Structure 1
Amino acid sequence: MAIKKLDFYLPNDLNASLPPEKRGVRRDHVRMMVLDRTTGEINHDHFFHLSQYLQTGDLVILNNSRTIPAVLHAEWVRSTAQLAPKVEVRLARRRGEGTWEALIVANLVKTGDRLQFSPDLSAMVRAEKENSPLKIIEFTKKGTDLFNMIYALGEPIRYEYIEQPWDLDYYQTVFACHPGSVEMPSAGRAFSWELLFKLKCMNIQLDFIQMHTGLSYLLDDQWHQRPEENEEEYQIAEGTMEKILETKASGKRVIAVGTTVVRALETAAMNGALSGMTNLYIDKHFPLKIADGIITGFHEPKASHLDMLSAFISESLLLNAYDQAIKAGYLWHEFGDMNLII
């Protein structure tokens, strides 16, 4: 698999531990590496100059899923016995109005155990996923009531390169409106309302889809989610798909903002379904039908997202570009810099 080849050394000091705003940088003023899909030519710029690389009539598709504070803390109860004063529960993906897959950071949690998050909210462990540390939990609340409780009790998922907790607002795009992502759809973070307005004034089209991101890391290197296990929920409006097809027919480009948008669009192109769950895995062998370019962040060594990027540009050109990005001091991860491949 390509994932074995797309490896490189990433210095720790290039892991962005602070939101740009805390570094004194506006979100749309982060750096941007522009990469030509065909030649591999590299331009170094800043994200607020994005319009210079797009053309009138191009269509930019963004993911308007809203990040939820997916880390909760609960008392772990079995029958009437409290087994631990507090355990950490990381929501992984929604399975129903009140049902979620979750990573419970405690050994020996079993089906039938109860998680007490607050006097008003608890969940029962209903099942264990085979060959996975994830559990299926059913909450005592559903729908909007459940989301309200999650927002009241939870905190954003934070990985080890983020040195301190940040408010949930730092993990949102400015246009996020549909709650459901447990990790920020980070490719859209660099957009500001000013930049979106500028693109519209230049007759660059904008539209939105929803894809709710799942939990990407299970906190133990022995657990690796296979591509077919990484299911995420998406929804594309009929009018959005019509606009996409019209753009393609006119010879203009569709630019996907993030790997989530690429997965959703290419899933719909394959199966004709504008909503549902997708476990689509995209690599260098995948013939892209919709996405002509991608706006994304910089991805860590061996990440499956790198496999997707190899569907846009050859592995050799991609790795050369990443080598140049490292030498130039670009920053990685959700609070880092941006990469336009077009």
Structure 2
Amino acid sequence: MHPKRLLIRDFLYNLPEERIARYPLPERDLSKLLVYKNGSIEQDNYYHLGKFLPTGSLLVFNNTKVVEARLLFQKQTGSTIEIFCLEPADEYADITTAMLQKGNVYWKCLVGGAKKWKEETLTKTIHAGNVQFKLQVKKVEKFSDYFLIAFSWNNSALSFAEVLHLAGAMPLPPYLNRSAEESDKERYQTIYAKHDGSVAAPTAGLHFTERLFEKLATQNIQKDFVTLHVGAGTFKPVKAESMQEHEMHTEFIEVNRSLIENILAHADSTVVAVGTTSLRTIESLYWLGLKAKLDPGIAIEHLQVYQWDAYELDWQNTTTNEALNCLLQWMDKHGVTKLVSKTQVIIAPGYGLKVAHALITNFHQPQSTLLLLVAAIIGEDWKKVYDYALQHDFRFLSYGDGCLLFPPAY
């Protein structure tokens, strides 16, 4: 069945409020781990992850860094305007370019209290250590689901990423129902976060520590990284009755040539995506490679993955290795060692994994596209896994526990 015909009501389960983890555990790698393989379930914790992975496995992580995307401005009347930075304006080639802008930048934002904000420029003065500057915002244009906002600041030495770090707050998921605290600056960030750009953490990676990485290395379990900047669309509820009417969010991805080569080198072993964003990124590589095979001259700006590509492109005669090698050839032809693209891929029942052999992920909200992704990997047994987790006191959502899922064919 084409995923367009899937009904979101079929992916509902009862998630009691008390099962949502409001705070992380004191030690990251002692979070509980549910392991699903061949229809059976085991339970352990993340520190013992290695005993469930074959020697020589490759773990692929998303090294995006969460930015302090929430900004509060006080009007002269005393009312508060909240600005939530979503993604850069279309004029910038990618998020990294936009984050490095100095002095001014244009950004797509949600605005809380927008009706109270007329045409005036809002200003706030930031004091952080020895740094002081004025930050100003002005509405440029209103669109159906966001405002285009002009930011400017009077310290030209600061990039926009630095401005957000000094002036903003961590964008905790709305379902935590609490304000960000000082501890969230560290805990709502993976230990390997590197590239500014996300408004949500790749939460499966929150469980990993240096001591866990050292332990995995003794088993010759390797790690590598992609970058997918997680947008607020990751929390976008599916309001349509069927998936055909739901538009997937588009996200920026960045992948080094060496990662693609590393995946090819592990073709006969186990490639494990750590998190749904890592999975969407490495699976997107297959579809990008297929497009490069079908049209070797495709322009950089057209090489991206759209929502239904995986179900409508003719892929049957293209192996994973062939697609990835075609992508490498395309990169050589265009003289790029880092692929920067966009993906809108939806992984739902009916999708067969092309690159990954397993997934490590947290437990997701009912009726979400992330739950559809889990169901794509383990089928109807997603209900069995989630029932087990609820019955055995697993903690759910961003700060909760997680699972290692192997598809039935593995």
- 1:337 aligns with one of 389, 401, 404: 401
CA distance in 2, matches of 1:281, 1:187: 19
- Shift in alpha-carbon separation, 1:220–1:74, aligned structure 2, 3 A: farther
How far the C-alpha of 1:115 sits from its partner, in A, is 3.8
Write the letter of the residue equivalent to 2:188: Y
* Paired residues of 1:92 and 1:100 also in contact (CA < 8 A): yes
From the superposition, tell whether residues 253 and 115 of structure 1 become closer, same or farther in structure 2 (CA, over 3 Å): farther
- Determine the structure 1 residue equivalent to 2:262: 243
* Bigger radius of gyration: 2
The residue matched to 2:262 in structure 1 has which SS? helix
Which of the residues 186, 190, 198 maps onto 2:207? 190
Contact conserved, 2:58 with 2:272, CA < 8 A, in 1?
Answer: yes
Matched letter for residue 313 of structure 1: I
Matches within 5 A, 1:1-342: 1-21=6-26, 26-36=27-37, 39-75=38-74, 85-95=79-89, 96=92, 97=98, 98-108=105-115, 114-118=121-125, 120-130=134-144, 132=145, 134-140=146-152, 145-158=159-172, 159-163=174-178, 165-167=180-182, 168-216=185-233, 228-248=247-267, 251-272=268-289, 274-314=339-379, 316-342=380-406
Structure 1 runs not aligned, ≥5 long: 77-81
Aligned residue pairs, count: 326
Paired residue type of 1:102: C
Measured in 2, the distance between the counterparts of 1:299 and 1:213 equals: 15
What is the alpha-carbon distance in structure 1 between the residues aligned to residue 282 and residue 56 of structure 2? 19
Residues 206/111 of structure 1: CA separation in 2 closer, same or farther (3 Å cut): farther
Moved more, 142-151 or 317-326: 142-151
Task: Measure how far apart 1:289 and its partner are.
Answer: 1.0
- The structural deviation recorded for 1:93 is 2.2
Give the CA RMSD over aligned residues.
Answer: 2.7
Check 1:129–1:113 CA distance in 2 against 1; reply closer, same or farther (3 A cut). Answer: farther
Residues 103 and 218 in structure 1, CA contact (< 8 A), matched pair in contact too: no
Contact 1:227–1:279 (CA under 8 A) maintained in structure 2? no
User: What CA deviation, in whole Å up to 9, does each residue of 1:63-120 have, x standing for no partner?
Assistant: 11111111111245xxxxx576421111122333223221101143789653434362
Higher share in helix: 2
**Partner AA of 2:15 in structure 1:** L
Q: Tell me the distance in 2 between the aligned counterparts of 1:57 and 1:294.
A: 16
Q: Mean Cα displacement is larger for which, 190-199 or 210-219?
A: 210-219
Letter in 1 for 2:341: G
Q: 4+ residue stretches of structure 1 with deviation over 4 A?
A: 109-113, 141-144, 217-227
Deviation (angstroms), 1:164: 5.1
Paired with 2:372 and 2:14, the residues of 1 have a C-alpha distance of: 17
Flag the 1:207–1:99 CA change in 2: closer, same or farther, 3 A. same
Separation in structure 2 between the aligned mates of residue 108 and residue 220 of structure 1, nearest angstrom: 24
- Letter of the 1:161 partner, please give it: L
Distance 1:10 1:271, change over 3 A: same
- AA aligned opposite 2:115: L
Deviation at 1:228, TM superposition (A): 3.8
Aligned partner of residue 236 in structure 1, secondary structure: strand
Work out the CA distance in 1 between the residues paired with 2:61 and 2:272.
9
* Secondary structure of the structure 1 residue equivalent to 2:11: coil
CA distance in 1 between counterparts of 2:353 and 2:118 reads: 42
